[in-house]
């Protein structure tokens, strides 16, 4: 196996991890939220935060490294428009993803406080959830478009 195909495999694997973890996190947070059970939400959000730190963050940090190596191995330059669009979308995705991590942490903490005080979830939790959901659309959408750009290289 050549170095190029090994790096390409790792790059594709990183994209799978980002998309898979993002989809799983969104699903589990949404399902927990729908229960309105503060204890369940707190446990789910705690797990989601850990998953984001272990899986998503690792893949997000390794993608530019493997992508840069692929560029070097292929002789691809920054003049490729599909690549520039992908990089711009990668930054955009990050601008939505980073705040989402902090929202998840705060939602977890608000749910834990509600459990400890035997109270309902506060309005702040619901405001954060709405924002978390809305930030997920362009963040996840950007990653989906990047994947298409890397496969199709349309321009």
DSSP string for 109-148: HHHHHHHHTT-PPPHHHHHHHHHHHHHHHHHHHHHHHHHH
Q: Quick check: helix, strand or coil at residue 23?
A: helix
The number of domains in the chain is: 1
Token pair 């809305």 is found at: 134
Token readout for 92 is 């955009």
Contacts of 120 (CB under 8 A, 6+ apart): 38, 114
What's the half-sphere exposure (Cβ side, CA atoms, 13 Å) at 91? 5
Q: What is the span of the domain harbouring residue 20?
A: 3-152
pLDDT for position 1: 67
Mean pLDDT of 97-124: 98
Token readout for 55 is 């899986």
Q: Among residues 134, 137, 129, which one has the least CA distance to residue 33?
A: 129
Measure the CA–CA gap between 39 and 83, rounded to whole angstroms: 44
Q: Could you read off the pLDDT of 13-66 as tens digits, one per residue?
A: 999 999 999 999 999 999 999 999 999 999 999 999 999 999 999 999 999 999
- Tell me, yes or no, if the pTM score tops 0.95: no
């Amino acid at each position: 196996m050549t170095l190029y195909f090994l790096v390409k495999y790792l790059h594709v694997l990183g994209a799978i991890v980002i998309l898979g973890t993002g989809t799983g996190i969104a699903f589990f947070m949404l399902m927990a939220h729908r229960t309105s059970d503060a204890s369940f939400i707190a446990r789910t959000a705690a797990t989601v935060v850990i998953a984001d730190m272990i899986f998503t963050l690792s893949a997000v940090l390794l993608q530019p490294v493997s992508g840069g190596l692929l560029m070097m191995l292929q002789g691809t330059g920054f003049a490729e428009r599909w690549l520039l669009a992908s990089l711009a979308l990668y930054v955009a995705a990050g601008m939505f993803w980073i705040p989402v991590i902090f929202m998840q942490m705060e939602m977890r903490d608000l749910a834990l406080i509600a459990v400890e005080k035997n109270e309902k979830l506060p309005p702040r939790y619901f405001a954060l959830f709405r924002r978390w959901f809305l930030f997920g659309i362009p963040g996840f959408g950007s990653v989906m478009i990047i994947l298409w750009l890397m496969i199709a290289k349309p321009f």
